[in-house]
């Protein structure tokens, strides 16, 4: 069994699709991730072997490696009859019509704008860069700050802070509040972990996502032009004190956890496209 | 569920644990890998959160010292190998036990999964009163008793007798390869895994001539050179395409290479092996079982440690030919490879074993059973 995944050269794209790639690997599939040459080291750091490619090279690659399935983030028509699966996760992306045989969507439905395309739901797994585990020493609330934000006044809140200025997306599991700039992956990671969010949206796309998060009751937002250190501290303090957002976030995390895990989805997909699970994919055709 | 995996220094102890760790992560469980030395970086480069359980110890120096004192290269006597192995792994376990105990207190895992040689895993889980699960990495084996018995550190915790058995054992060896009929523990599919890296573009295409993979592991740099040269000479005259992986080792002195041999410092064998018609290697568990799971017949030139035992098992099963590495002439190696490529039953048998492996319960299935442990 061979699965070829494509990954656009951006960390959120990688961390969003890695759980599905792992699920294929763990089930004994050969997995290759086709990605841009300079991004390959990041993919390799998730334990996934890569094949360097560009958009045009994908068809040739499929012709050469002959995967049983192609899982693409931005699907292009395939030259041969290989089942094509589109993988979606980003709540800020607007899904277009698709050429794919199947769409797998990890985005929590509450965050999806209207979309009529039938999809196979998959659980979003909150991932980020794996580094050494920090061990917490203090019994204080933990606040994760993703990106460059005006957070100078947070220190007085009597909490512990994790500053992730380089946006490596690893939210510690026992975080109490996530502060971010409307980044899609941080938003869904926080949701999957059941952590309330304080969002200072940076772009109009991020602002639309922030509105949906607020409407779900899991986030408070702050316009960038009025967001100073004092106001950010005030919002975070509110999230730490009043537990409504936390309760709602935990509820939504449970809903997400009830969706099929990537490991289950891999089996569904193998059945659907009749990929024979027992036995290796081996047709080398090389008679000595 | 919170799963703490633990492995001693040495990549061979670490990489077989990741498929189950990935299955756990992609099922929404929390996972941490507790190890030390160079393995800390290797674990982080496999996407798994890692904790260094002996951060204050110069593990590289200590490990080198133990390696010299208890070197298993060329040791074929099983009793000597067990004794030396016991000394080495007990010393490493004593160095890691405190860190492991501390990390379990803080992180509060529900279960500890340990490599059979990582005896500190069994001790620490016992001290914390949580289940320990042995994760096999090749032929079925119990917790490495000589190391468990030789540990001294558990006495500091008031433990006079070492714990006996884990709550469960995961057995990744297909039953038909387990010729001594040990069949220990819960069956689990072997999933080939090594350090991820880029696959050279030319290796993604199907070969026009049979492709032969040659690899002598990552720790055999000097020891493997002679066997490697003989192998290269043997394959030079054949109409085959040879891909030689140095396994990240430095210090190989191979000399000039024939035109049908291409060298890579390192190759992701999980995607390279399945497209090969045969593999020539040293009998390390990772390559032996990777080839088994990929359905590729093998020529094995064992050097020492567990390699002769691995070789014996796959020879008994009819998927491999063993060549004594000390006396390996190119002609002998060439003959073995020709046999595998020709009309012998090795290829068909290798495919049969791969099917048998793939039909065993997956890591996800094993995870479901682990979740039911008390």
Instruction: Say what the pLDDT of residue B219 is.
Output: 55
pLDDT (0 to 100) of residue A166: 74
What pLDDT score does A115 carry?
62
A189 and A248 assigned to the same domain: yes
Residues A227 and A276 in one domain: no
Q: Per the domain annotation, does A72 fall within a domain? A: yes
Together in a domain, A20 and A56: yes
Same domain? A65 vs A164: no
Specify whether A182 is located in the same domain as A268.
Answer: no
For chain A, the residue count is 288
What tokens were used for B312?
A: 């014996």
The answer to whether residue A137 sits within a structural domain is no
| Distant-in-sequence, close-in-space partners of B146: CB < 8 Å, separation ≥ 6 | B82, B83, B85, B86, B87, B89, B90
Asked if A6 and A118 sit in the same domain, the reply is yes
- Using CB atoms, pick whichever of B107, B211, B358 lies closest to residue A280: B358
The answer on pLDDT for B152 being more than 70 is yes
What is d(CA A146, CA A171) in angstroms, rounded to the nearest whole number? 9
Same domain, A51 and A103: yes
- Among the listed residues B165, B96, B168, the one whose alpha carbon sits nearest the alpha carbon of residue B133: B168
Considering only CB atoms, which chain A residues are within 8 Å of B50?
130-133
A238 within domain boundaries: yes
CB contact under 8 A, A132 and B52: yes
Nearest Cα of chain A lies from the Cα of B155 at a distance, in angstroms, of: 26
ipTM: 0.94
**Residue A118 has what pLDDT?**
76
Does position B332 have pLDDT exceeding 60, yes or no? yes
Q: Is A205 on the interface with B (CB under 8 A)?
A: no
pLDDT digit string, tens, across residues B8-65:
998 899 999 999 999 999 999 999 999 999 999 999 899 999 999 999 888 878 877 8
What is the percent of chain A with per-residue pLDDT over 90, rounded to a whole number? Answer: 61
Q: Give residue B139's pLDDT band: very low, low, confident or very high (50, 70, 90).
A: very high
> Domain range spanning residue A113?
2-124+259-280
**Across A276-283, average pLDDT:** 47
Query: pLDDT (tens digit, 9 = 90+) per residue, B75-130?
Result: 667 788 788 889 989 999 999 999 999 999 999 999 999 999 999 999 999 999 99
Which residues from A are below 8 Å from B47, CB to CB? 18, 22, 45-48, 127, 130
Instruction: Rounding to the nearest 10 degrees, give the CA dihedral for residues B200, A13, A122, A1.
Output: 0
B341 touches chain A (CB under 8 A): yes
A56 and A116 part of one domain: yes
The domain tally of chain A equals: 2
Distance, in Å, from the CA atom of A230 to the CA atom of A215, rounded to the nearest integer, reads 24
CB atoms within 10 A of CB A274: 9
The pLDDT mean for chain B works out to 91
Is A50 inside a domain boundary? Answer: yes
How many C-beta neighbours within 10 Å does residue B257 have? 13
pLDDT tens digits for range A71-84: 998 777 666 689 99
CB contacts of B355 in chain A (<8 Å) are: 278-280
Beta strands in B182-318 (DSSP E): 186-187, 211-215, 241-245, 261-264, 278-281, 298-300
The answer to whether the CB atoms of B199 and A130 lie below 8 A apart is no
| CB proximity under 8 Å: A 246-285 to B | 257, 261-263, 277-282, 284-285
Residue A28 has its nearest CB partner, among B106, B351, B362, at B362
Are A250 and A269 in a shared domain? no
CATH code of A75's domain: 3.40.50.2000
Coil, strand or helix at A239: helix
What is the end-to-end Cα distance of chain A in Å, rounded? 24
The pLDDT value given to residue B92? 93
More confident residue, B166 or B229: B166
In a domain, A136, yes or no: no
Question: For residue A249, what pLDDT is reported?
Answer: 96
Q: Is A18 in CB contact (< 8 Å) with chain B? A: yes
Clarify whether residues A244 and A230 are in a common domain: yes
User: How far does A54 lie from chain B, in Å, by closest CA?
Assistant: 12
pLDDT in tens, A187-219: 999 999 999 999 999 999 999 999 999 999 999
Tell me the pLDDT band of B355, cut-offs 50, 70 and 90.
Answer: very high
């Amino acid at each position: 069994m061979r699965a070829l995944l494509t990954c656009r050269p951006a960390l959120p794209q990688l961390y969003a699709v890695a759980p599905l790639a792992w699920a294929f690997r763990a089930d004994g599939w050969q997995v290759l991730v086709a990605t841009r040459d300079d991004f390959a080291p990041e993919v390799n750091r998730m334990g996934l072997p890569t094949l360097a490619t560009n958009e045009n090279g994908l068809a040739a690659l499929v012709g050469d490696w002959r995967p049983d399935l192609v899982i693409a983030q931005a699907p292009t028509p395939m030259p041969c009859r290989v089942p094509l699966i589109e993988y979606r996760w980003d709540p800020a992306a607007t899904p277009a019509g698709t050429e794919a045989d199947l769409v797998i969507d990890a985005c929590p439905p509450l965050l999806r704008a209207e979309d009529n395309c039938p999809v196979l739901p998959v659980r979003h797994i909150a991932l980020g860069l794996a580094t050494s585990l920090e061990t917490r020493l203090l019994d204080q609330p933990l606040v994760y700050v993703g990106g460059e934000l005006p957070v100078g006044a947070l220190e007085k809140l009597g909490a512990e802070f994790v500053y992730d200025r380089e946006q490596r997306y690893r939210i510690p599991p026992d975080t109490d509040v996530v502060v971010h700039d409307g980044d899609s992956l941080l938003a869904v990671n926080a949701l999957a972990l059941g952590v309330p969010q304080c969002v200072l949206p940076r772009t109009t796309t991020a602002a639309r996502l922030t509105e949906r998060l607020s409407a779900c009751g899991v986030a408070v937002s702050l316009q960038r032009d009025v967001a100073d250190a004092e106001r950010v501290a005030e919002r975070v303090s509110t999230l730490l004190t009043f537990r409504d957002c936390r309760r709602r976030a935990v509820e939504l995390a449970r809903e997400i956890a009830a969706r099929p895990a990537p490991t289950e989805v891999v089996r569904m997909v193998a059945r659907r496209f009749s990929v024979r699970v027992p036995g290796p994919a081996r047709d080398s055709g090389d008679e000595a | 569920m919170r799963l703490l995996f633990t492995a001693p220094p040495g990549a061979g102890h670490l990489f077989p644990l990741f498929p189950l760790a990935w299955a756990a992560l992609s099922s929404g469980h929390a996972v941490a890998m507790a190890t030390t030395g160079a393995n800390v970086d290797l674990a982080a480069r496999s996407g798994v959160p890692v904790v260094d359980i002996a951060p204050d110890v110069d593990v590289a120096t200590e490990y080198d010292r133990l390696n010299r004192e208890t070197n298993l290269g060329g040791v074929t006597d099983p009793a000597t190998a067990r004794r030396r192995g016991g000394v080495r792994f007990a010393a490493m376990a004593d160095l890691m036990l405190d860190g492991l105990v501390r990390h379990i207190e803080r992180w509060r895992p529900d279960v500890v999964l340990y490599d059979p040689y990582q005896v500190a895993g069994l001790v620490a889980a016992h001290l914390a009163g949580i289940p320990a699960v042995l994760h096999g990495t090749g032929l079925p084996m119990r917790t490495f008793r000589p190391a468990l018995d030789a540990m001294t550190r558990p006495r500091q915790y008031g433990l006079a007798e070492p714990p006996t058995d884990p709550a469960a054992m995961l057995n990744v060896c297909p039953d038909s390869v387990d010729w001594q009929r040990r069949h220990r523990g819960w069956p689990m599919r072997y999933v080939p895994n090594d350090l991820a890296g880029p696959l050279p573009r030319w290796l993604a295409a199907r070969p026009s001539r049979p492709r032969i993979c040659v690899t002598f592991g990552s720790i055999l740099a000097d020891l493997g050179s002679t066997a490697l040269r003989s192998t290269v000479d043997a394959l030079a005259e054949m109409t085959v395409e040879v891909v030689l992986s140095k396994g990240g080792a430095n210090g190989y002195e191979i000399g000039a290479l024939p035109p049908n041999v291409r060298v890579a410092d390192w190759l992701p064998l999980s995607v390279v092996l399945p497209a090969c018609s045969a593999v020539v290697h040293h009998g390390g568990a990772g390559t032996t079982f990777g080839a088994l799971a990929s359905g590729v017949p093998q020529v094995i030139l064992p050097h020492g440690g567990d390699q002769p035992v691995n070789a014996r098992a796959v020879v008994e099963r009819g998927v491999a030919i063993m060549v004594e590495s000390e006396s390996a002439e190119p002609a002998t190696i060439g003959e073995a490879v020709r046999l595998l490529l020709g009309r012998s039953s090795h290829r068909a048998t290798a495919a049969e074993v791969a099917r048998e492996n793939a039909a065993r319960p997956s890591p996800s299935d094993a995870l479901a059973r682990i979740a039911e442990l008390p």
